[in-house]
């Protein structure tokens, strides 16, 4: 029985996933990442109209919960939904996106991201 309750290496734990998704800012970030694949922190800051430290703190919590992966490119950090997620987590994320993509605040977040000038390619705006 003890072996069944031990955490598998790098496997997200259900209660950590649901705690991570329970916050509005983290959910909004996750919905944008579901739609766009990979985004720079600066894009999420623009889309959600929140400070960089606040966005980074929430992204770190999602990464620590095992939901997101990140990569650094020079001074910028890009986030994406982890590819190796268990199927049930992918199902939760996809179902949440499908049920809410056409509701606020997700509509406005997507519109603001679409209007961001100088979206990253080689760089993020200052």
What residues does each domain of the chain span?
14-113
Alpha helices in the chain (DSSP H): 2-5, 14-21, 24-36, 41-48, 52-64, 87-100, 106-114
Q: Name which residue leads in pLDDT, 37 or 120.
A: 37
Residue 15 gets the label, from left (phi > 0), alpha (psi -120 to 50) or beta, of: alpha
Per-residue pLDDT tens for 104-119?
A: 999 999 999 999 998 8
Is residue 9 very low, low, confident or very high in pLDDT (cuts 50, 70, 90)? Answer: low
Per-residue pLDDT tens for 13-68?
A: 888 889 989 999 999 999 999 999 999 999 999 999 999 999 999 999 999 999 99
pLDDT at 75: 83
pLDDT at 8: 54
**Predicted TM-score of the model (pTM):** 0.85
Token representation of residue 69: 């992966």
Per-residue pLDDT tens for 64-80?
A: 999 999 999 988 899 99
Architecture of the 14-113 domain: Orthogonal Bundle (1.10)
């Amino acid at each position: 029985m003890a072996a069944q309750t031990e955490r598998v290496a790098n496997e997200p734990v259900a209660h950590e996933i649901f705690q991570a998704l329970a916050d509005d800012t983290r959910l909004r970030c996750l919905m944008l990442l579901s739609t766009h694949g990979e985004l720079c922190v600066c894009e999420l800051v623009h889309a959600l109209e929140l400070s960089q430290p606040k966005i980074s703190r929430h992204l770190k919590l999602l990464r620590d919960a095992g939901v997101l992966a990140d990569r650094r490119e020079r001074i910028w950090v890009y986030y994406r939904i982890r590819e190796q997620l268990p199927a049930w987590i992918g199902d939760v994320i996809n179902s949440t996106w499908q049920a809410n993509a056409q509701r606020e605040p997700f509509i406005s977040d997507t519109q603001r991201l679409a209007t961001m000038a100088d979206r990253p390619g080689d760089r993020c705006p200052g």
